[in-house]
């Protein structure tokens, strides 16, 4: 190998070795980023494991307790053996279903309103329930002359059966709760409700509302976590293979570099001897 050819070959090998080292460094950095992604995935999974879902406790005639995911519909719809709650927005308006809003607007008197719910017996719990609702929505003891009471607002139908919306709204103070409670003195604001009154209550203190592990969220998080970790593991294995390949290539280039350099050194040595 001539001197010029040897020098050119040496420069080519050096350039390839430099490129090889740069690629190795880039892959190493990518492996570090994978470690960060793995930590993030683990943190999100741990958060999901700790997530809680609000539940509503109801009871049947035998006193058996059933837990149901808390939604506006579950919370406010009538049922026997059930406490009466209302959701209230920041303007003090009670949030009601489209059915309740329409019934209120189409009725001029309490009796008309009660008739729509098929209850006319004052001893019927349903009678008291919808009487309470009538007065909380702004109904009067006489003939209602206007629907524009400002006391109620129809809830978005998309939220009516949403566990996520209600839990978020309660936890962030977007809505608060009121509960109908027995009081011997009756209500000053709603005197026609008899011995009952609407009382503000924190959802944390509501006896019918509890929380439990959010099994659905946990299951989804587990699937997502496993998929993410599998993807990270596969990518990490590929990076390891690429690094091994580059290391083998680097060793071969290093050997070739030393061989070519040795030939060049010998050529230089012979040249000096020839002219000495």
pLDDT in tens, 105-115: 999 999 999 99
Examine the domain organization and report whether 64 and 184 are in the same domain: yes
- The verdict on residue 28 lying in a domain is yes
Examine the domain organization and report whether 125 and 251 are in the same domain: no
Band of pLDDT at residue 44, cut at 50, 70 and 90: confident
Q: What is the mean pLDDT of residues 131-147?
A: 87
- The verdict on residue 218 lying in a domain is no
Least confident interval from 29-43, 150-164, 262-276: 262-276
Q: With a cut of 90, say whether residue 147 has pLDDT above it.
A: no
pTM above 0.75, yes or no: no
Examine the domain organization and report whether 102 and 172 are in the same domain: yes
Examine the domain organization and report whether 60 and 90 are in the same domain: yes
Alpha-carbon separation of residue 221 from 35, 50, 168, 169 (angstroms): 19, 11, 19, 22
Contact in structure between 260 and 9 (CB atoms under 8 Å): yes
Examine the domain organization and report whether 15 and 66 are in the same domain: no
Least confident interval from 40-44, 66-70, 130-134, 246-250: 40-44
Query: Could you give the CA distance from residue 170 to residue 52 in angstroms, rounded to a whole number?
Result: 13
Contact in structure between 53 and 211 (CB atoms under 8 Å): yes
Neighbouring CB atoms inside 10 A of 117's CB total 17
Band of pLDDT at residue 141, cut at 50, 70 and 90: confident
Using the 3D structure, point to which of 195, 213, 231 is the last residue of a domain. 213
Band of pLDDT at residue 252, cut at 50, 70 and 90: confident
Using the 3D structure, point to which of 163, 190, 213 is the last residue of a domain. 213
Band of pLDDT at residue 81, cut at 50, 70 and 90: confident
Examine the domain organization and report whether 23 and 132 are in the same domain: no
Band of pLDDT at residue 12, cut at 50, 70 and 90: confident
Examine the domain organization and report whether 209 and 171 are in the same domain: yes
Token pair recorded at residue 127: 């009678």
Instruction: Give the 3-state secondary structure of residue 90.
Output: coil
- The verdict on residue 74 lying in a domain is yes
- The verdict on residue 29 lying in a domain is yes
- The verdict on residue 120 lying in a domain is yes
Examine the domain organization and report whether 130 and 148 are in the same domain: yes
- The verdict on residue 22 lying in a domain is yes
More confident residue, 264 or 174: 174
Examine the domain organization and report whether 155 and 263 are in the same domain: no
Q: What is the mean pLDDT of residues 230-246?
A: 89
pLDDT at 157: 94
Examine the domain organization and report whether 66 and 153 are in the same domain: yes
Which residue has tokens 């308006």? 93
- The verdict on residue 42 lying in a domain is yes
Q: What range defines the domain where residue 136 resides?
A: 52-213
- The verdict on residue 80 lying in a domain is yes
pLDDT at 133: 96
Using the 3D structure, point to which of 191, 213, 235 is the last residue of a domain. 213
Query: Could you give the CA distance from residue 6 to residue 267 in angstroms, rounded to a whole number?
Result: 10
The residues, ordered by sequence, that sit 6+ positions from 3 with a Cβ below 8 Å of its Cβ are 264, 267, 268, 271
Q: With a cut of 90, say whether residue 99 has pLDDT above it.
A: yes
Q: What is the mean pLDDT of residues 179-193?
A: 89
Q: With a cut of 90, say whether residue 3 has pLDDT above it.
A: no
Examine the domain organization and report whether 200 and 244 are in the same domain: no
Q: With a cut of 90, say whether residue 8 has pLDDT above it.
A: no
Say how many domains are in the chain: 2
Examine the domain organization and report whether 99 and 207 are in the same domain: yes
């Amino acid at each position: 190998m001539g001197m010029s050819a040897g020098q050119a070959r040496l420069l080519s090998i050096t350039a390839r070795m430099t490129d090889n080292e740069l690629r190795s460094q880039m892959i190493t950095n990518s492996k570090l980023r994978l470690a960060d992604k793995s930590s993030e995935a683990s943190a999100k999974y741990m958060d999901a494991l700790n997530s809680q879902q609000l539940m509503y406790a109801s009871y049947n005639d035998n006193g058996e307790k059933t837990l149901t995911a808390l939604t506006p519909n579950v919370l406010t719809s009538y049922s026997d053996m059930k406490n009466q709650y209302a959701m209230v927005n920041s303007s003090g308006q009670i949030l009601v279903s489209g059915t309740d809003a329409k019934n209120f607007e189409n009725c001029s008197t309490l009796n008309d309103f009660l008739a729509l719910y098929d209850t006319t017996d004052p001893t019927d719990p349903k009678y008291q329930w919808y009487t309470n609702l009538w007065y909380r929505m702004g109904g009067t003891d006489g003939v209602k002359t206007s629907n524009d009471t400002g006391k109620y607002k129809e809830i978005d139908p998309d939220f009516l059966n949403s566990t996520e919306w209600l839990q978020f709204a309660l936890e962030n103070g977007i809505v608060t709760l009121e509960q109908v409670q027995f009081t011997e003195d009756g209500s000053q604001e709603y005197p026609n409700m008899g011995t009952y009154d609407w009382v503000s209550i924190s959802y944390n203190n509501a006896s019918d509302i509890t929380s439990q592990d959010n099994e659905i969220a946990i299951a989804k998080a587990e699937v997502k976590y496993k998929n993410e970790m599998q993807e990270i593991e596969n990518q990490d294995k590929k990076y390891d293979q690429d690094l091994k390949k580059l290391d083998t290539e680097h060793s071969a280039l290093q050997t070739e570099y030393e061989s070519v350099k040795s030939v060049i050194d010998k050529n230089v040595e012979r040249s000096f001897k020839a002219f000495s």
